[in-house]
């Protein structure tokens, strides 16, 4: 198993070049270079704002109107998403798709940055949903979240569903809610069918989506993990890359103009 930065990047690139069907799983780490905080780190969203963590529990969200009002006010301010753009890590995965290698991109992130970078939405599974949409908890109503946020900015503190009047929330999967079974099935099938599984910016600690890495390995795929810290699945990995994702992923995926893209050795 390779872990030294330069050797690991080169080894990961060789595995990508040899692969025909790559399944990718991304986590919060790929978006930190875009300015988005993680959730539980020293400067994480929930560390700085415990109320936001409470709002992520579906039982609390439904039962406590004040939690909903605070959550809508925070979202309507736009502070969390101000000036957030995809980074070169997101762009690298677009390049992997353009090379015809990407089987499926599974993301634990709810920020929509993969699609904004140019990833085909049909090849992206947002396993934990998206903050870019709003949904009703009782009926099938779903729309762009800006529709609800404009209502909040106009004075509605806790906007209800325009169809049935029940509670609205962002179209994310909160604690206490189940994953979409269709999305989970797509993710698991892609993990079974790939010849390379690339885990990027995730500690692989969140169940059940973390098991896709094990499914891939047990189905015969190679495993590359690119993350700033250790993960629970490191012992299964063929290559571990511990480095800045936005710096090394372009070289791993074969973006033009990156170290290693034409056979040159990346620097430590």
To the query of whether residue 128 is one of the catalytic residues in this protein, the response is yes
Cβ neighbours for 208, distance < 8 A, ≥ 6 positions apart: 179, 184
Strands 102-107 and 22-26, sheet pairing: parallel
CA 46, 47, 50, 54 torsion-angle sign: positive
Helix (H, G, I), strand (E, B) or coil at 90: helix
- Among 20, 7, 25, residue whose Cα is nearest residue 198: 25
Helix (H, G, I), strand (E, B) or coil at 172: strand
- Among 11, 49, 3, 51, residue whose Cα is nearest residue 196: 11
The two most distant CA atoms of the chain are separated, in Å, by 60
Catalytic residue among 90, 114, 128, 218: 128
CB 15, CB 196: distance < 8 Å: yes
69 burial type by CB count under 10 A (0-12 exposed, 13-18 middle, 19+ buried) = middle
Q: Which residues are catalytic?
A: 128
């Amino acid at each position: 198993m390779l872990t030294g930065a330069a050797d690991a990047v080169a080894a990961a690139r060789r595995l990508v070049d040899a692969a025909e069907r790559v399944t990718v799983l991304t986590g919060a780490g790929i978006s930190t270079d875009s300015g988005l905080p993680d959730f539980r780190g020293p400067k994480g969203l929930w560390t700085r704002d415990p109320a936001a963590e409470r709002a992520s529990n579906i039982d609390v969200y439904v039962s406590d109107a004040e939690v909903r009002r605070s959550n809508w006010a925070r979202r309507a301010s736009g502070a969390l998403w101000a000036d957030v753009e995809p980074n070169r890590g997101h762009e690298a995965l677009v390049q992997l798709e353009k090379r015809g290698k990407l089987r499926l991109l599974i993301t634990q992130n709810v920020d929509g940055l993969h699609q904004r970078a140019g990833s085909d939405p049909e090849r992206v599974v947002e396993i934990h949903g998206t903050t870019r949409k709003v949904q009703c908890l009782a009926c099938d109503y779903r729309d762009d979240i800006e529709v609800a946020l404009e209502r909040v900015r106009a004075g509605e503190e806790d906007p209800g569903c325009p169809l049935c009047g029940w509670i609205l929330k962002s179209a994310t999967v909160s604690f206490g809610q189940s994953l979409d079974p269709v999305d989970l099935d797509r993710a698991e099938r892609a993990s079974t069918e790939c010849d390379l599984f690339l885990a990027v910016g995730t500690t692989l600690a969140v169940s059940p989506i973390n098991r896709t890495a094990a499914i891939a390995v047990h189905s015969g795929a190679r495993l590359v993990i690119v993350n700033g810290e250790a993960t629970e699945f490191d012992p299964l990995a063929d290559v571990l890359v511990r480095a800045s994702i936005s710096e090394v992923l372009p070289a791993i995926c074969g973006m033009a103009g990156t170290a290693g893209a034409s056979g040159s050795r990346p620097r430590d």
